[in-house]
Amino acid sequence: MYQIVSATVGDVGLSAMRESTPPKKKRVDRHGRRLMVATLLGVVLVTAAVAAWSYYSTSLRKADLLKTELLDLNKDGFVIHNQAGAVIFQMTFRSDSLDLDSCLKEGRVLTCSRSSAGSLNFFIETVKPKDTVMCYRVRWEELETSRAVEHAMAYHGSHWYGGGETRSQHWPIVFHGSQEPEPFITGDVGSKQRVFGNILERYWLSSNATAIKINDSVPFHLGWDENSKMMRFQARYENSPYKADRGRPVRAELSYRVCVGHDVGSIHKYMVRRYFNKPSKVPSEAAFRQPIWSTWAFFKTAVNQDKLLTYASEIQTHGFNWSHLDLDDQYTSGYGEFDFDPVKFPNASHMFKKLGDDGFKFTLWTHPFVNYNSTNFGTGVERGLFVREPSGELPALIRWWNGIGSILDFTNPETRDWYALHLRNLKNEYGIASFKFDAGETSYLPQQFSTFVPLQDPSMFTRRYTEMAIPFNDRAELRAGYQSQNISCFFRITDRNSLWGYDLGLKSIIPTVLTVSILGYQFVLPDVIGGNAYPDYTDGEKGFPDRELYIRWLELSAFMPVMQFSIPPWVYNNEVVEIARKFTALHETLVAPRVLKLAGEVLNTGDPIIRPLWWIATDDEAAYKIDSQFLIGDELMVAPVLEPGKQERDIYLPAGKWRSYKSEHFDKGPMHLTDYPVDLDEIAYFVRSA
């Protein structure tokens, strides 16, 4: 069209010029006038045509430019399609919109240099690391403001997993109400309502085979809104514990990568292999086979030498075996001390010798706190071992569940040496096997603080603390983690309450274990059987968990990587003791060998031991929503009873051939088994045949 119009213009022009040397004036005059009119008309037409074409072609270029692989960018956000053209990911720019005229595309990189607010450094880089995976690296850095940058991810239309532990844990994630963006840093969900998890990673995975990983350098805040069904990803420094790197301008930068794969399993495997640390060794085989027995829930802080001796003796007399015993809170006189309280443990050396001769091993409870009234507080103050107030001059006081004190600054090499020395001394003097490292979350740091080595991301404090467990990692237990997947220790999900429900109760265990597994923590402790029997959070009488709850909890625990007892079965009756013996035996014979084999694979793959049903059923919508069943590896599927008073439950069997623990065969799956009978002393499990 353009060329045709252009040729006409040329003709008109040329003929006009040719005829401008006329033979007769009058004819020329009349003819000339007509030509002039025609010429003018032509020019107008041409101009219009050129303008239209330019606009059209610019639009074409722009439209082309704003596509990169399966991602479409517009001024207010971007969407990613799958091969079939359906939208599988949607991100909205909330803090500002792009000036699309400032965008350029060069190869795999699409950049924009202006937002509606000013200069900006924006890019989306496309990376195709393998045939089945496409990743989009996104970075938004405002150059002229120190404002927050916020992108909001639509979470509707698919199921999401990951992030971290929460107080009310669901699988997939459930977003309640709306939440302004808060620092996404480790926090003790067991003691505080509105914090993110004890174990936490900046990673989410969706059922439509997309995953998002927020970059480590981002001062990352998370919020959500139930109405708009958006997760709000915000980068900011204002009113935030994140600190900009010294010497760098305080400009919030939001950067992340979104990867898309063929299915949820393969994209997760790609992300784990690419972005997560992996452990280098499998911790104690014994702990995977035999239960750990903790003094905590049973004795609380009233533990003493006699009680511990009796406990050990009763474990033996009731015919149980053990990996080790955990001597928990208050074996010292003060918090922050490392000597046995001489009143409660008049002869600790002799006690450990005697118990050691009987085949018992021990872990000791430890924590990062030194209370102001402990003998080591002065040492910490004078030697600068503590986290300090913001000016860095003086220690800051903090409150934790056992009082007021300071928190050891594990960014300080002198603190690390001092702490490690004390732990080594305990280990050597009493033959202690290892330690239970309690706490470590940033929610126990002062509201404002400074550390020996400045922390841009406060959660790095958690990482530093978890590193203290490395020398003791055969049986060490941690309950907080951030980028800590390579600490080859057991990670315990945070303290459970002795309740049936999702609020840290029995129902929360599977969602929580699945979540931390998705975050790369595979040597998971599901916390003590029956929960911690905290007075205000216990379904049951006499301070003990409800008997039925205890039994159901025991059954579930038997199918977890490690069993942990504290309230012993013999506080109920002999029937409970027998059920417990049955399930510790089942754990050792059926579960442990599978878990140990999978644990070995973790070192190479980072893949979960405890897996969600969709792991083997990625095309199965039903599988994405099930939070009361799980897989051990790909073959053993477990469906515990988690409701009080029930001796049956509905069970979903994914496609495949399954043999039940009652030796029934099912091969017409996927299928629902409704009201499948499960006696009180039973747990439903199914083994898949190849």
Residue 611: strand pairing partners? 631
Residue 391 contacts a copy of itself per CB under 8 A: yes
For residue 363 the two structure tokens come to 């872990």
Question: Closer CB to a copy of itself, residue 293 or residue 452?
Answer: 452
Write down the least CB distance from residue 92 to a copy of itself, Å. Answer: 32
Closest to a copy of itself by CB, 270 vs 444, is 444
CB distance 577 to 569 below 8 Å = yes
Using N-to-C axis directions, what is the helix angle for 348-357 and 305-317, rounded to 10°?
A: 10
Nearest distance, CB of residue 171 and a copy of itself, angstroms:
35
Taking CB under 8 A as the binding criterion, the range among 255-263, 443-451, 564-572, 630-638 that sits at the site for a copy of itself is: 443-451
- Judged by CB, which is closer to a copy of itself: 405, or 669? 405
| Strand ranges (E), 557-632 | 564-565, 610-611, 630-632
- 394 lines the binding site for a copy of itself (CB under 8 A): yes
Of 378 and 644, CB closest to a copy of itself: 378
Q: Hey, CA dihedral for 556, 558, 561, 562, is it positive or negative?
A: positive
Q: Least CB distance from residue 372 to a copy of itself, whole Å?
A: 6
What contacts 390, CB < 8 A, 6 or more positions away? Answer: 448, 449, 450
Backbone angles phi, psi at 152, to 5 degrees: -120, 125
Closest approach of a copy of itself to the CB of residue 147, in Å: 17
Nearer to a copy of itself, 16 or 381 (CB): 381
Q: What is the DSSP string of 552-564?
A: HHHHHHHTSSS-E
Q: Are strands 490-492 and 524-525 parallel, antiparallel or unpaired?
A: parallel
Task: Verify binding: residue 389, a copy of itself, rule CB under 8 A.
Answer: yes
Catalytic residue among 329, 438, 495, 548: 438
Contact call for residue 446 and a copy of itself (CB under 8 A) = yes
Alpha carbon 341 to chain centroid, angstroms: 39
**Is 404 a binder of a copy of itself (CB under 8 A)?**
yes
| Chain centre to alpha carbon of residue 620 | 23
Written in H, E and C, the secondary structure of 437-479 is ECCCCHHHCCCCCECCCCCCCCCHHHHHHHHCCHHHCCCCEEC
Based on the shown chain and the rule CB under 8 A, indicate whether residue 193 belongs to the binding site for a copy of itself.
Answer: no
Q: Give CA–CA dist 294/228, Å, rounded.
A: 45
Contact call for residue 37 and a copy of itself (CB under 8 A): no
Q: What angle do CA 466, 472, 478 make, to 5 degrees?
A: 35
Q: Which is nearer to a copy of itself, 392 or 677 (CB)?
A: 392
Residue 446 pairs in a beta bridge with: none
Give least dist CB 196 to a copy of itself, A: 20
Active site residue 503: yes
Instruction: Write down the least CB distance from residue 396 to a copy of itself, Å.
Output: 7
398: contact with a copy of itself by CB under 8 A: yes
For the question of residue 263 being annotated catalytic, the response is no
Calculate the alpha carbon distances from 397 to 375, 377, 500, 591 in Å.
Answer: 16, 11, 36, 45
Measured from the CB of residue 446, what is the shortest distance to a copy of itself in angstroms?
7
Residue among 10, 390, 454, 677 that touches a copy of itself (CB under 8 A): 390
DSSP state of 588: I
Residue 424 within binding range of a copy of itself, rule CB under 8 A:
no
Query: Which of the stretches 244-252, 415-423, 445-453, 486-494 binds a copy of itself when contact is defined by CB under 8 A?
Result: 445-453
Does residue 441 have an active-site annotation? yes
Three-state DSSP at 379 gives helix
Helix (H, G, I), strand (E, B) or coil at 107: coil
Q: Please, which residues bridge with residue 90 across strands?
A: 79
237 binds a copy of itself (CB under 8 A): no
373 binds a copy of itself (CB under 8 A): yes
Q: How far is the CB of 447 from a copy of itself (least distance, A)?
A: 5
Return the number of the residue (360 or 377) whose C-beta is nearest a copy of itself: 377
Task: Based on the shown chain and the rule CB under 8 A, indicate whether residue 250 belongs to the binding site for a copy of itself.
Answer: no
Smaller CB separation from a copy of itself, 383 or 672: 383
Query: Pick from 261, 290, 192: which is nearest to 504 by CA?
Result: 192
Q: HEC profile for 488-538?
A: CCEEECCCCCECCCCCCCHHHHHHHHHHHHHCCCCCEECCCCCCCCCHHHE
Q: How far apart are CA 386 and CA 379, in angstroms?
A: 10
Nearer of residues 390 and 677 to a copy of itself, judged by Cβ: 390
Q: Applying CB under 8 A, which of residues 79, 174, 381, 687 lies at the interface with a copy of itself?
A: 381
Of the residues 165, 328, 441, 607, which is catalytic?
A: 441
Which range binds a copy of itself by CB under 8 A, 285-293, 294-302, 377-385, 536-544? 377-385
> How many angstroms separate the CA atoms of 549 and 555, rounded?
10
Given the complex with a copy of itself, which of 168 and 375 has the nearer CB atom?
375
Taking the C-alpha atoms of residue 605 and residue 623, their distance in angstroms, rounded to an integer, is 23
Q: What is the DSSP letter of 167?
A: S
- In the complex, the smallest distance separating the C-beta of residue 241 from a copy of itself, rounded to whole angstroms, is 13
Residue 509 to residue 3: CA distance in whole angstroms: 71
Determine the interface stretch with a copy of itself among 92-100, 264-272, 383-391, 578-586 (rule: CB under 8 A): 383-391
Q: Determine the size of the site formed for a copy of itself (CB under 8 A).
A: 19
Q: Which of residues 564-593 bind a copy of itself (CB under 8 A)?
A: none
User: Which residues have C-beta within 8 Å of that of residue 41, sequence separation ≥ 6?
Assistant: none
SS3 annotation, 319-372: CCCCCEEEECCCCECCECECCECCCCCCCHHHHHHHHHHCCCCEEEEECCEEEC
Least Cβ distance, residue 408 to a copy of itself (angstroms):
16
Of 67, 90, 76, give the one whose Cα is nearest residue 210: 90
Judged by CB, which is closer to a copy of itself: 106, or 393?
393
Among 106, 131, 393, 536, binds a copy of itself (CB under 8 A): 393
Rule CB under 8 A: say whether 397 interacts with a copy of itself: yes
Catalytic residue among 503, 578, 635, 681: 503
Q: Which of 334, 395, 568, 612 binds a copy of itself (CB under 8 A)?
A: 395
Is the Cβ–Cβ distance between 471 and 420 less than 8 Å? yes
Nearer to a copy of itself, 283 or 446 (CB): 446
Instruction: Determine, following the binding rule CB under 8 A, whether residue 378 of this chain makes contact with a copy of itself.
Output: yes
Position among 399, 424, 662, 668 found at the interface with a copy of itself (CB under 8 A):
399
Under DSSP, is residue 387 helix (H, G, I), strand (E, B) or coil?
coil
37 or 394: CB nearest a copy of itself: 394
Rounded CA-CA distance 201/519 in Å is: 6
- Nearest distance in Å: CB 371, a copy of itself: 10
Smallest distance, a copy of itself to C-beta of residue 334, A: 11
Residue 319 binding a copy of itself, by CB under 8 A: no
- Give the nearest distance from C-beta 386 to a copy of itself in angstroms: 9
Q: Which of residues 320-359 bind a copy of itself (CB under 8 A)?
A: none
User: Judged by CB under 8 A, does residue 377 bind a copy of itself?
Assistant: yes
Told to check if 63 binds a copy of itself by CB under 8 A, we report: no
Binding site for a copy of itself (CB under 8 A): 372-373, 377-378, 381, 389-391, 393-399, 404, 446-448
The residues assigned a catalytic role are: 438, 441, 503
